[in-house]
């Protein structure tokens, strides 16, 4: 069941076999924007209007573009795209010329079919930036500063630069990511001139549906194991880990503080649960609330949260400064937001993690780890390596 631009997004429609996977198969780079969430699948094509880059808050600019589109005769305009980690960097947000909607990928039985083997995958040359030993040194330096009381947490990232003799097959990459984790948030959107952001994030930053909001902060992670008994042991250990529980509590407290002013009621569970992806276990808390002001849009809420300690650290400005000093690259869209919003203010915004940015024959992969006073360089380096697995498997490369 695909719907046109002039129909609101589906919320509880019966799943028609093949509707969601048809949108996945239809994705084409450069012109299209694809987003699959646990609630819906979206494919936007072309550009009817772009959200401008200026000093006003992004939520204000998005609201203005959507209101203009509605006044021009579009009854249900939608903005789709990505916002960067840096607050002053240009967004990549557009109103597509057409939007097709379908139920979630996870409800499409065809998503269980195996992806056709790619016999002609490119050979990749992999460069680690920074090198693992340099990353470990940055973690150790941050831990020393935290133990001295300078700040509480910082998320330090590293990248893999994959280069080949030809451009990657982005539609095939997107299909492999979607089939690997169909219940997650899979996306492919333009992120700048000649660049495409592709990923499969496990983390919902915030969703708004009418007067109700949902946020799902993740913090505290452990790599999965192919051995069932070991996989269960790792999950139980994560639920009992003082270091990871502290890291998670810091993030949940920040989410509560940011969202409480927008709500008449905010429900925050006392203890986290577990969520899993194909590569990782994560501590997870689902926060729900009733909005006090119906004018607060999904992006207003997401902007109040961004950046959470799960992608930056705490205090925020101190963590940003450490990231700028320690990371020898520009994060760009990584640890920003990707998602959609309609003219009524409903939408879903996801933390831009487990992602890569494609540009020409290069693919830049990103992974980060939350560093607290109890962290070790070895553990955080191993965590980033495990997180890279999502994309390395999708492109047929090895670390």
Q: Which residues are catalytic?
A: 153, 203
8 A C-beta contact, residue 108 and residue 24: no
3-state SS assignment for residue 113? coil
Angstrom CA distances, 89 to 58, 82, 157, 336, stand at 11, 11, 19, 10
Residues 6+ apart with CB under 8 A from 57: 303
Buried b (16+ CB within 10 A) or exposed e, 3-18: bebeeebbeebebeee
For 125-167, the DSSP string reads: EEEEES-HHHHHHHHHHHHHHHHTTS-SEEEEEEEEEEE-SS-
Q: Which residues are CB-contacts of 382 (< 8 A; sequence separation ≥ 6)? A: 223
DSSP class of residue 271? S
Q: Which residues contact 331 (CB under 8 A, 6 or more apart)?
A: 84, 85, 86, 157, 323, 366
Residue 205, SS3 per DSSP? strand
Map residue 339 onto helix, strand or coil: strand
Distance of CA 323 to the CA centre of its chain: 19
State the Cα–Cα distance between residues 316 and 155, nearest whole angstrom: 11
CA-CA distance, 41 to 21, in Å (whole number)?
9
Spatial CB neighbours of 7, under 8 Å, sequence gap ≥ 6? 76, 101
Buried b (16+ CB within 10 A) or exposed e, 229-262: eebeebbeebbebebbbbbbbbbbebbbebbeeb
Give the integer Cα–Cα distance in Å for 10 and 309: 32
């Amino acid at each position: 069941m695909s719907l046109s631009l002039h129909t609101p997004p589906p919320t509880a429609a019966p799943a028609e076999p093949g509707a969601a996977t048809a949108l996945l198969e239809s994705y084409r780079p450069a012109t299209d924007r694809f987003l699959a969430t646990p609630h819906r699948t979206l494919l936007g094509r072309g550009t009817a209007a772009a959200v401008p880059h200026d000093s006003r808050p992004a939520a204000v600019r998005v609201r203005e573009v959507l209101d203009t589109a509605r006044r021009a005769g579009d009854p249900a305009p939608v903005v789709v795209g990505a916002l960067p980690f840096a607050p002053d960097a240009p967004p990549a947000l557009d109103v597509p010329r057409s939007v097709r909607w379908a139920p979630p990928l996870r409800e499409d039985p065809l998503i269980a079919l195996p992806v056709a083997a790619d016999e002609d995958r490119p050979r990749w040359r992999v460069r680690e930036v920074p090198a693992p030993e340099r990353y470990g040194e940055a973690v150790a330096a941050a831990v020393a500063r935290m133990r001295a009381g300078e700040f509480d947490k910082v998320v330090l990232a590293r990248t893999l630069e994959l280069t080949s003799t030809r451009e990657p097959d982005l539609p095939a990459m997107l299909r492999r990511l979607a089939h690997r984790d169909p219940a997650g948030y899979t996306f492919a959107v333009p992120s700048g001139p000649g660049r495409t952001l592709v990923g499969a994030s496990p983390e919902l930053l915030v969703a708004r549906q009418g007067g109700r909001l949902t946020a799902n902060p993740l913090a505290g992670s452990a790599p999965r194991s192919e051995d069932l008994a070991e996989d269960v042991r790792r999950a139980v250990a994560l639920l009992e880990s003082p270091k990871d529980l502290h890291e998670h509590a810091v993030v949940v407290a920040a989410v509560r503080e940011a969202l409480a002013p927008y709500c008449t009621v905010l429900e925050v569970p006392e203890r986290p649960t577990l969520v899993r992806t194909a590569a990782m276990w994560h501590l997870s808390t689902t926060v729900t609330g009733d909005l006090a002001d119906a004018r607060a849009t999904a992006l207003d809420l997401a902007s109040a949260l961004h950046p959470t300690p799960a992608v930056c650290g705490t205090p925020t400005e101190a963590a940003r400064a450490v990231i700028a000093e320690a990371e020898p690259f520009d994060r760009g869209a990584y640890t920003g937001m990707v998602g959609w919003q309609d003219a009524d203010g409903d939408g879903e915004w996801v933390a831009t993690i487990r992602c890569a940015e494609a540009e020409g024959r290069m693919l830049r992969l990103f992974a980060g780890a939350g560093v607290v006073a109890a962290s070790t360089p070895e553990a955080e380096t191993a965590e980033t390596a495990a997180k890279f697995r999502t994309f390395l498997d999708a492109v047929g490369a090895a670390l």
